[in-house]
Amino acid sequence: MEQSWNYEKIQNHASSSTSIARQRRPTSGPDRSEWKDVGKVREMVNPLVVGFGLGFAIAWLLSLQRLQQRQFHFPLHFLVVGDWGRNGFYNQSVVASQMGQVGTMLGISFVISTGDNFYNTGLAGVDDIQFTTSFTNIYTSPSLQTRWYAVLGNHDYMGDVLSQMDPYIQLRDDRWICQREYHLQYSLCTDSMKEGCKMHVDFFFIDTTPFVDDYWAASQTHTFDWRGLASREEQLRNQLQSLNDKLETSTANWKVVVGHHTIRSMGYHGDTPELVKNLLPILKKHRVDLYVNGHDHTLQHIKDQDSGVHFVTSGGGSKAWDGVRSSENTEGVLFAYDGQGFAAISMGPHELLLSFHDGLGNTIYTAHLHKSRH
């Protein structure tokens, strides 16, 4: 049966006058993108707490109340973060701490990583200490001790790309799941629903780095580890055909595709032409609901005006402030935030709640999506 969208009013907590929000650098003091640990962040935050402690407390309590209400209303909750692995620097540890708090409030089932998992050049091998210093020792909150479903980003291809997919990595930390492409299914049934409920969401994880022409160019100065791939033409053809076939047979209430690179973006990198040409038509054809990505170090929500595909960028896991292209095509742009943070998504059979949280834990944006069947 055909599906139709009813898009509810957006709540833009970061800016009431525009859908494009920037977290500006301080006019004095250290550049926030250079904060190296939690201590320095606290040094910057404490004066604000002294002056505006009551306001922060009220805002935090309201945010807590909203999150707790979501726990009972939706059967599935998860977080999305990307572009993070920097040994805790550039506020990675701070974002991780806030992820832990939101994850606890929601009772999340898993975390999605949208790629560029380890900077600047991926992992050097399966024994690389950065897997511990950028992942295991950073995401320590109890709520984050759950499955992490990851895709590969371009920076991951600049190291030993096979190491992130090696079964040995799971022996080091059994949360970690990463493959070039894979498919997951999660139930959206609740205890109160009738026995035999088949409502569910399908997640399709894909590898977008081989699509980008520039990475294959003779003038490219970085070295990419293309081991394990077929010829480029065959690799792309097979991956697109595989995704098309899986979407063709999916009976899910929601269809979510996860990749690293943007399709639509107001960030530094902007749109990815190769994905607009090759991937977007498949998403439109099969009425995919969400395309979730990283690459741009921002938080964004853009809706395709032709098909209703929603593009969700969550690439603010550590270093950010690359800029937002306010002069670019703003068609369908509902929110764009130039700063650090992550996304939380709660799902029910016919509704979805997306929220963005900044590096200090503030809920800066929410969107409530409804889907009905005719």
Does the annotation flag 291 for ligand binding? no
CA distance 259 to 240: 13
Does the annotation flag 87 for ligand binding? no
Closest of 309, 288, 374, 360 to residue 44, by C-alpha: 360
Does the annotation flag 295 for ligand binding? yes
Can you say how many angstroms the Cα of residue 254 is from the centroid of all Cα atoms in its chain? Answer: 17
Closest of 357, 355, 354 to residue 342, by C-alpha: 357
Does the annotation flag 77 for ligand binding? no
3-state helix vs strand vs coil in the chain, percent to 5? 30, 25, 45
With contact defined as beta carbons under 8 Å apart, do 242 and 205 qualify? no
Geometric angle at alpha carbon 87, from 82 and 93, rounded to 5°: 70
Active site residue 269: yes
List the catalytic residue out of 77, 155, 269, 357: 269
Task: Output the six-digit token pair for 74.
Answer: 């939706």
DSSP notation for 303-337? E-TTT-PEEEEE--SSS------TTS--TTEEEEE
Does the annotation flag 260 for ligand binding? yes
Does the annotation flag 13 for ligand binding? no
User: How many H-runs (helices) and E-runs (strands) does the chain carry?
Assistant: 7, 17
Does the annotation flag 116 for ligand binding? yes
| Binding-site entries for Fe cation | 83, 116, 119, 154, 260, 295, 297
Give catalytic residues, as residue numbers: 269
| Binding-site entries | 83, 116, 119, 154, 260, 295, 297
